[in-house]
Amino acid sequence: MSDAALDVDHLRQWIGRTATAQDTVSPRLVAGYLAVLNDPNPERDLGDLAPLAIHWCLAPETRPMSQLGLDGHPKRGGLLPPVPLPHRMWAGGRIDSFGRFRVGDVITRTSTVQDVTVKTGRSGTLCFVAVDHAFVGPKGPILTERHDIVYRAPRDPNAPAPAVPNAPKAHWSYSVMADPVLLFRYSAITFNGHRIHYDRNHAITSEGYTGLVVHGPLQATMMLEYAAQLRGNPPKTFTFRGVSPMMDGAAFTVNAATATDGGLDLWTAAADGRLCMQAQANWD
């Protein structure tokens, strides 16, 4: 599909559109989220600090079944522009933190479409949509997130596989088993209906993957938690982007190394050594 066929000018009319949603950081939500992350004591009391990245569980879009597309995502329209490319992926983003969520907080999220751009690469036409999310709690702003979404055409089965760099050597590392139960539970706690995370036949035959795909936000969550663990407190800024898809069926590693600017470089690596997602955490 060409840039002209996308009608970029039409899609850019969505820039500036906003939507507001509200949710509660409930004890049940926090317990379920921490259980997915394998916390041995997931229960938290009202007023306790909520885990990092809990915002990806808050106020998900709750469309009726009749309003979902074949891939399990909500049908095009609403806040996001109706990009006429079939496959949607979570490309990465940036988190700026001003405080912490607490159990029991009522949170308001305001989402704004900031940009729509089209690029052409080796995999064909790509449409990037940048959305800013601002989360406000009872005491004021807590977090802002830049969410980068990419839409792409179907994969060409005859095209050569893109070159993916191997992950570097880490100063610190731990492993996680990417099994279907982990993926299902994370999809459930975030109300993510995208079938690439739980429907193996769809992931392989319709979207060109070799198995189930490990969620980008799940990998980012593990890197963010690891950064906070290593330094003793959460970073002020956290940027991250996907490099190659992480598939289920084997253990992957979450890795960190001291960055030249004093922060941390973090990444996830597949069992075969491929770099899958990378991130930077800073405390300044």
Neighbours of 116 (CB within 10 A): 22
User: What pLDDT is attached to residue 123?
Assistant: 67
pLDDT digits (tens, 9 = 90+) for 208-266: 999 999 999 999 999 999 999 999 999 999 999 999 999 999 999 999 999 999 999 99
pLDDT for res 155? 73
Return the sign of the alpha-carbon dihedral for residues 219, 222, 225, 227: negative
Contacts of 139 (CB under 8 A, 6+ apart): 99
The predicted pLDDT at position 162 comes to 73
CATH topology of domain 3-282: Thiol Ester Dehydrase; Chain A (3.10.129)
Instruction: Please give the pLDDT value at position 78.
Output: 84
What gap in Å lies between CA 267 and CA 284, rounded to an integer? 20
* pLDDT for the residue 188: 97
Q: Which helix (H) or strand (E) holds 35?
A: helix 27-36
Spans of the chain, pLDDT less than 50 = 1-4
| pLDDT of res. 157 | 66
C-alpha torsion sign, points 164, 92, 7, 68: positive
Among 104, 108, 94, which residue's Cα sits nearest to residue 142?
108
Q: How far is CA 256 from CA 88, 144, 250, in A?
A: 28, 24, 20
| Residue boundaries of the structural domains of the chain | 3-282
pLDDT at 6: 84
Tokens found for residue 71: 């891939």
With 0.85 as the threshold, say if the pTM is over it: yes
